[in-house]
Chain A
Amino acid sequence: MRRARATALLLVTTLLVGTIVLLSATGHDGGQAIDALLSGSIGSWYALGSGTLVRATPLMLTGLAVAIAFRAGVFNIGAEGQFVVGAAAGTAVALALSGAPRAITVPIVLLSGAIAGATWASVAGYLRLRFHVLEVISTIMLNFVALYLVSYLVRGPLQESTHVYPQTSSISAAAQLPRLGPTTRLHLGFVIAVVACFATWWVLRNTAGGFRLRAVGANPFAARSAGQIDTARVTMRAFLVSGAFAGLAGAIEVSGVTFALYENISPGYGYTAIAVALLARLDPAGVIATGILFGALESGAAAMQRDAGVPSVVVAIVEAGIILTLVAIERVRLTPEATTA
């Protein structure tokens, strides 16, 4: 087992080193790339606030969605789809609510995103509880359905008024989240994400519902027989809460950053979220830190692509490397109590 672990770690290291060697061999300047990575993420107050923290917001919320699902033994890898339907619902509601004041509009937009995400996740929850369908498969299938749904919406009923571009019209100012300062792109969504993470941390730790969720995740059979817990109910709630956070992330992205819906609105937040959650050891409060870390990585990678021509998709290799390293050294499992103990 020790040899296996050493091999696994060697493999991950080789992959990461190989990536660097490859990029320099294909004519990319390593120093310039690192410079761009740093200056685009933490190099200035502007990069930190308007780059890193803006990117961190959807990652914290989708990371929270994944963490809470995994804690309950629900393998929701559908945060991507739930994010996208949340963004779609938020946009649709924002476009319909033109004229209402901001204090009413923004909460309704965010709420509709959360409801849409929860509804999307509930399909996978229902399929698992009623038909024993693995949520790993069903949530991924629902991701593709969500992407094609948006593709249809932005070319059909929600397309902008000139019918030229595959995107919606911009939402009104009343539907936009307020910014946190005059010179920053950072918006109130960041605060919402941080509060959501802390609130979830507290609920999981201090309430009966939180205890039931952890118990079902740790051992559903014991939870049912010894703990008299209705495991099906707890599982369904985990799907709903997880989907709601991912959907909320989508609505916040529209209301705080993009102001419109288009096809590639998520650059894979729902998948990065898995790395965010695992690196945080599935701790909702820890997700704040890992969300910001990955926000910095993605923001820096975007600068790297712009300034040094290094493809930003290289981040996926780093994320995979982190997950595999954790799997190798800690035996991270979907029965999370074993990892946090």
Chain B
Amino acid sequence: MSDATTAFLEATVRTATPLGLAALGEVVVERTGIINISLEGIILAGAFGALLGATHGGATEGFFVAMLLGVTAAMVFAVFAAWLRADQIISGTAVTLLVIGATGTLYRALYGATGAALSVATAGPVAIPGLADIPVFGPALFNQPAPTYIAYLLVPGVWWWMYRTHAGLALRAIGESPEAAEAAGIRSDRFRVGALAFGGLLGGLAGGTLVISQAGTFAEGMSAGRGFIAIAIVVLGRWHPLGVALASLVFGAASALQFLLQALGLELPYQVFLVLPYLLTLAALAGVAGRVRAPASLGRVG
């Protein structure tokens, strides 16, 4: 039982990591009044970037190119949503579609028409001496790949920046009332583009994590709705970094549930487990939406 519990907790943190990273970026973006539907495409771009970087370099190059492509996709969205102030949902959907087409085409063009699965350099878990030896929780929390530790550091970091710095205050003001923020001399466009770049960086890293720390390969459309789940996590986490971290763990647990249930000998069609995170998203949104308050200008820029 203890082994199963440890495996469950380990899988919870592992699957929560890319969701948490992407959602943490999205919190900052949504606080400027923009809902980034292209996050799904950004994660996919990151995953493809990781494939490019890791096959031509190594795991480190993979993460770097993942973040680069994530930011690139986010900047395409920024031109439309932040600069042109076009409809965020339509342009976000289009950017996701663009990334699906571009990564699919490039993948087949560069790696063969069959699109056979390639294995890439992976970066396995790194145990933190001492902490990883704590019973049950130690291996789950402190024997994880590097991106998990980045997420641990970013949660308090983003919180501190948002709530304890002048720039963070300006960011939150834009989301609540762009007009008032502009009147106070805040350049809201710059904050929006900056926030989207940060969101792209973390979304790209999330995609890189999927390839380099988890799957060890790339598959077309492998983001599999994680961008949308991350957006739901932001709602569930009430647009707060700490809330988002907790909500990510809830989703990680839902995905990891299959390990626990299999250990208990429950025989269910495997699709039941695969569908859990999506059903949980619906249930969670129904549970909290209406009782939480979004940034007042969310989705209404321009």
Asked if chains A and B come from one complex, the reply is yes
Q: Which of B87, B220, B274, B289 contacts A332 (CB 8 A)?
A: B87
> Are the CB atoms of A152 and B271 closer together than 8 Å?
yes
Residues of B within 8 A of A331 (CB): 86-87
* A141 and B290 in contact, given A19-B102, A319-B97 (Cβ under 8 angstroms): no
> Are the CB atoms of B97 and A271 closer together than 8 Å?
yes
The answer for the CA separation of A334 and B35 in the assembled complex, in Å, is 14
> Any chain B CB within 8 A of the CB of A179?
no
* A313 and B220 in contact, given A141-B228, A141-B278, A319-B101 (Cβ under 8 angstroms): yes
> Are the CB atoms of A8 and B80 closer together than 8 Å?
yes
* Those of A268-325 within 8 Å (CB) of chain B: 271, 274-275, 278, 309, 311, 313-321, 323-324
Looking at B103-111, B139-147, B155-163, B207-215, the stretch in contact with chain A turns out to be: B103-111
* Those of B62-110 within 8 Å (CB) of chain A: 76, 79-80, 83-84, 86-87, 89-91, 93-95, 97-98, 100-102, 104-106, 108-110
The answer for the CA separation of A28 and B105 in the assembled complex, in Å, is 12
- Secondary structure class of chain B's binding surface, majority of residues: helix
The answer for the CA separation of A314 and B106 in the assembled complex, in Å, is 9
> Any chain B CB within 8 A of the CB of A327?
yes
> Are the CB atoms of B87 and A133 closer together than 8 Å?
no
The answer for the CA separation of A95 and B167 in the assembled complex, in Å, is 63
> Are the CB atoms of B91 and A131 closer together than 8 Å?
no
Residues of B within 8 A of A151 (CB): 271
* A4 and B79 in contact, given A26-B109, A133-B289, A145-B275 (Cβ under 8 angstroms): yes
Residue of chain B at shortest CB distance from A1: B84
> Are the CB atoms of B109 and A23 closer together than 8 Å?
yes
> Are the CB atoms of A320 and B37 closer together than 8 Å?
no
> Are the CB atoms of A309 and B113 closer together than 8 Å?
yes
> Are the CB atoms of B98 and A328 closer together than 8 Å?
no
Q: How extensive is the interface on chain B, given as a class?
A: 35 or more
Residue count of chain A within 8 Å CB distance of chain B: 59
> Are the CB atoms of A28 and B109 closer together than 8 Å?
yes
* A274 and B278 in contact, given A11-B76, A327-B86, A334-B87 (Cβ under 8 angstroms): no
* A8 and B289 in contact, given A19-B102, A320-B95, A332-B90 (Cβ under 8 angstroms): no
> Are the CB atoms of B282 and A324 closer together than 8 Å?
no
> Any chain A CB within 8 A of the CB of B281?
yes
Residues of A within 8 A of B225 (CB): 140-141, 143-144
> Any chain A CB within 8 A of the CB of B180?
no
> Any chain B CB within 8 A of the CB of A199?
no
> Are the CB atoms of A327 and B105 closer together than 8 Å?
no
User: Would you give the shortest CB distance from B41 to chain A, in whole angstroms?
Assistant: 9
* A148 and B275 in contact, given A8-B79, A319-B97 (Cβ under 8 angstroms): yes
* A313 and B282 in contact, given A11-B79, A141-B225 (Cβ under 8 angstroms): no
> Are the CB atoms of B89 and A136 closer together than 8 Å?
yes
> Are the CB atoms of B101 and A320 closer together than 8 Å?
yes
> Any chain B CB within 8 A of the CB of A75?
yes
> Are the CB atoms of A15 and B98 closer together than 8 Å?
yes
> Any chain B CB within 8 A of the CB of A132?
yes
User: Would you give the shortest CB distance from B271 to chain A, in whole angstroms?
Assistant: 4
Q: A-facing mask of B268-293, CB < 8 A → 1, else 0? A: 01011011001101100111011000
**Which of B97, B279, B281, B286 is most buried by chain A, counting CB atoms within 10 A of its CB?**
B97
Q: 14 pairs across A/B with beta carbons < 8 Å?
A: A4-B83, A8-B80, A8-B86, A19-B102, A23-B105, A134-B285, A136-B89, A137-B281, A140-B228, A141-B225, A145-B278, A311-B113, A313-B101, A327-B94
Known A-B contacts: A134-B285, A137-B281, A320-B97. Give 14 more (CB < 8 A). Answer: A11-B79, A22-B105, A28-B109, A133-B285, A137-B231, A145-B275, A152-B269, A274-B97, A315-B101, A320-B98, A324-B80, A327-B84, A327-B90, A333-B87
